[in-house]
Every structure is written in C-alpha cells, then in structure tokens.
C-alpha cells in the first residue's frame, strides 16, 4: 500500500502511527483537514484484519469528521484515532499510553468514545491528556453521546417526513431499524412514543430480546430488512449498507439513520436520488453525538446542546431545498455545503487580527 498515494486520494493531512511495546498498544491517528480548528474525533478500538484496513478506516473516518463538524457549524477540524486490537483486551496502562500519544500532539486532536471504547476508558486516558471528551458523568463529563445522536436522528427523520409527506408527524408511519444497539434502541423508543410502528433487526440475541420485550417491536431478519415495505429505513449498525445489492431492492421512501459511511460509494447517493428515495446524509443526521462531545469540551450548557441538536432538522431541510433546486443528490449537496464552509472560513482567516 502506498500510504502517500492514499493520503492524497483522501486529502488526508497527517497520519501518526503510535506503538508502545510495554502495553502492546498499536494505534493510528489521522488528520483530514484542520482549517476550522483542532480535530475533534472519536477513538475507535477494533480488531482489524490488517494494518491496511485500520489505516483506511481511520482516514475515511477523519474525512467524515471534517464534513460533520463543518455542517454542524462547529469550529473543529476532522480527525480520528483507532486502536488496533480486541476491545475486550483494553487495560489502564494501554489507555494511558494512548493518552500520552494524544497529549504529545498538543491539542491538535481532541478525542472521545467511538465503537469499542466507552466513557470509563477516558477516565484512564484523562490521567495523561487534557485533550479528550466523553468522560463519565460522575467525573464531570457528559457520558455516552448515543442519546444525543438518537435525538438528532429523530429530528432528522421528522425533517425527512416533512419533505416527503408535507407533515413531520410520525403517527401511523413505519420505520425499519437496522441495529438496536446504543443509538437504535433510543431511537426506536422516541419514534414509538410519537406513534410510529417499528420493525427491528439485529444479529445480537440480547438486542433482539430487548426489542421484542421492552419495545414491543416487530422483528425482521438481517437480510429481509432492506426490502420491507416501510416509510423509513433507518441504518443504525454498519457502514456500506447502501450498495449495488441493497439500493435496487429498497421499498422505502426515506433512508435516515445514525450509521457512519452508509453509502458504499458516492455513486450510491445518486442511485438513491434517481430512485426517488430521500437520503438523509449520514454525517448530517448523526451529528448529535459530535455536538454533545463538543459541548463537553467547550463546557456549553444543556440548552445550547438541545438547540443545536434540534437544528439538524433545519440543516437537512436546507440541503433538500438545494438538492431540489440543483437536481443533485442530497449526499453531494451536503458535501458541497460542508466544504464550502471550510473553504470560506479558511479564507476569512487571511484577515490578520492581532
Ligand atoms: P452499537 O455497537 O451499540 O450498536 C450497533 C448494533 O448493530 C449492535 O446491536 C449490533 O449487534 C447491530 N448489528 C451489527 N451488525 C448488524 C447487521 N448486519 N444487521 C443489523 N444489526 C446489526 O453502536 P451504536 O453506538 O448504536 O452506533 C450505531 C451506528 O451509529 C454505528 O455505525 C456508529 O458508528 C454510528 N454512530 C454512533 C454514534 C453514537 O453516539 N453512538 C454517533 C454517530 C454515529
């Protein structure tokens, strides 16, 4: 793999490899664009099949963070960290070693929870670095951001319904939810409270049990979920689920969920647009978690977080308006608007103020 070639393809600014012999830590930190400010991006821990897979993941995720921060109106850049290893094998020394690498970057990246890491891990990292968020609530942090992510997706689905049906009411609407983990289960509950019917799927037995018993959802098989008759298909599990095999069979009017990198390739956004399926760009609709961790770092009030998460509704409506006017896929419009903001803020910084 030619690392510089891939960095160029993904417009990646910097990649930092971290290795600590004592704890076995192997980690990669990637920076995509830091025009808007220091990078803010989670630290994922995963047992990648190869070094290449870990590197591609962290660079793609870093790019997504540039877009997400920008479209959310935040002054943070795009970056991400991954630890290569089994999340069950985490230890205090390993997490502290990671914290020291983050501290050594002197504020260029601020990190927090992601897949495979949780608030208590950041209590360990926090002994070594100031540059983190997602601390447990009992340590003054805002804890797990999943509730805020789900709240953002909920408001995003309202915006989609309004766009497609002329009313944002959930009453009588059917939503098929792929993945009832941390985000999916909060989302299912919120939608149900507003009168939606939920069909859920998840390969994890305990999640399915919870969906059946606590949420009283109808259940579907993992492959069946793509072709169900539903108003909304909500991916809340994996990336790459909108691809050549799934998009042609979708029977929904809207795709709107929290999963990162839902489109296998950019052209699948065009396929959805051409099929008349409204796609809520993932980095817009799932930005509630980022808004939450940014608020923790900036010590913003609860009211401000609530306001910003509700603004996801407006951000999506603005994207849909431009998409209609220019006849462009919503995924393309969201990227254009996000990168336009990065570009313009970068330009105003040419004005010397002190
Ligand atoms: P999670 O791991 O708690 O839940 C994911 C669920 O998906 C699990 O229950 C898992 O069993 C299930 N799943 C795995 N493969 C599946 C499949 N083929 N079909 C159906 N279900 C499947 O993760 P989460 O925190 O709920 O996040 C869900 C998605 O949202 C991820 O893609 C994540 O990157 C993204 N996201 C999460 C947040 C957040 O605040 N947690 C923020 C932004 C984006």
- For a substitution probing ligand 1, which of 236, 255, 305, 312 has the most ligand atoms within 8 Å of its CB? 236
Which atom of ligand 1 is nearest to 282's Cα? 44
- For a substitution probing ligand 1, which of 258, 281, 287 has the most ligand atoms within 8 Å of its CB? 258
pTM above 0.85, yes or no: yes
Instruction: Provide long-range contacts, Cβ within 8 A and 24+ apart, for 336-344.
Output: 337/71, 338/66, 338/67, 338/68, 338/70, 338/71, 338/283, 339/67, 339/70, 341/36, 341/70, 341/71, 341/73, 342/33, 342/35, 342/36, 342/66, 342/70, 343/35
Crossing angle (nearest 10°) for helices 330-348 and 51-71: 70
Q: Is the separation of the CB atoms in 189 and 200 below 8 Å?
A: no
Nearest residue (by CA) to ligand 1, atom 29, is 259
Nearest residue (by CA) to ligand 1, atom 33, is 259
Report CA torsion sign: 286, 224, 244, 162: negative
- For a substitution probing ligand 1, which of 237, 246, 263, 295 has the most ligand atoms within 8 Å of its CB? 237
Q: Which residues, other chains included, contact 286 with Cβ-Cβ below 8 Å and sequence gap of 6+?
A: 68, 149, 152, 153, 183, 257, 258, 259, 260
Quote the ligand 1 centre to 150 CA distance (angstroms). Answer: 11
- As a residue count, the chain comes to 354
Both tokens of 38, joined, read 């220091």
Tens-binned pLDDT, residue by residue, of the chain (354 aa): 899 999 999 999 999 999 999 999 999 999 999 999 999 999 999 999 999 999 999 999 999 999 999 999 999 999 999 999 999 999 999 999 999 999 999 999 999 999 899 999 999 999 999 999 989 999 989 888 899 999 999 999 999 999 999 999 999 999 999 999 999 999 999 999 999 999 999 999 999 899 888 888 999 999 999 999 999 999 999 889 999 999 999 999 999 999 999 999 999 999 999 999 999 999 999 999 999 999 999 999 999 999 999 999 999 999 999 999 999 999 999 999 999 999 999 999 999 998
DSSP 8-state code for residue 33: E
Q: Is 80 an active-site residue?
A: yes
Q: Please name each of the domains of the chain with its CATH number.
A: 3-62+78-139 (3.40.50.10860), 146-340 (3.40.50.720)
Quote the ligand 1 centre to 183 CA distance (angstroms). Answer: 7
Q: Which of 68, 80, 90, 173 is catalytic?
A: 80
Quote the ligand 1 centre to 162 CA distance (angstroms). Answer: 26
Q: How far apart are the first and last CA of the chain?
A: 44
Residues with Cβ within 6 A of ligand 1?
Answer: 115, 145-146, 149, 178-184, 201-204, 207, 222, 236-238, 258-260, 286, 289
């Amino acid at each position: 793999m030619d690392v510089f070639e891939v960095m160029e393809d993904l417009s990646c600014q910097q990649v930092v490899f971290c290795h600590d012999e004592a704890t076995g830590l192997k980690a990669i930190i990637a920076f995509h664009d830091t025009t808007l400010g220091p990078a803010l991006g989670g630290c994922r821990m995963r047992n990648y099949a190869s070094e290449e897979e870990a590197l591609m993941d962290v660079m793609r995720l870093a790019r997504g963070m540039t877009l997400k921060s920008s479209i959310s109106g935040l002054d943070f850049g795009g970056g991400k960290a991954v630890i290569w290893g089994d999340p069950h094998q985490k230890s205090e020394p390993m997490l502290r070693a990671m914290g020291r690498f983050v501290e050594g970057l002197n504020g260029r990246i601020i990190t927090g929870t992601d897949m495979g890491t949780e608030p208590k891990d950041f209590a360990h990292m926090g002994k070594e670095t100031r540059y983190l968020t997602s601390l447990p609530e009992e340590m003054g942090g805002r804890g797990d951001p999943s509730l805020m992510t789900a709240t953002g997706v909920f408001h995003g689905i309202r915006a989609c319904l309004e766009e497609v049906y002329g009313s944002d009411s959930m009453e009588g609407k059917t939503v098929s939810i792929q993945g009832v983990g941390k985000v999916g289960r909060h989302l299912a509950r919120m939608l149900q409270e507003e009168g939606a019917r939920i069909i859920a799927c998840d390969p994890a037995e305990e999640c399915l049990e919870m969906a059946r018993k606590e949420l009283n959802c109808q259940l579907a098989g993992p492959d069946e979920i793509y072709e169900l008759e539903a108003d909304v298909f909500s991916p809340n599990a994996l990336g790459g689920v909108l691809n050549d095999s799934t998009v042609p069979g979708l029977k929904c009017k809207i795709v709107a969920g929290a999963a990162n990198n839902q489109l296998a390739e950019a052209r699948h956004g065009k396929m959805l647009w051409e099929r008349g399926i409204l796609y809520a760009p993932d980095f817009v609709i799932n930005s509630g978690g980022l808004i939450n961790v940014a608020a923790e770092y900036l010590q913003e009030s609860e009211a401000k977080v609530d306001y910003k998460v509700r603004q996801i509704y407006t951000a999506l409506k603005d994207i849909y308006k431009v998409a209609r006017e220019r006849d462009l896929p919503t995924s393309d419009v969201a990227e254009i608007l996000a990168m336009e903001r990065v570009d313009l803020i970068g330009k105003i910084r040419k004005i010397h103020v002190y």
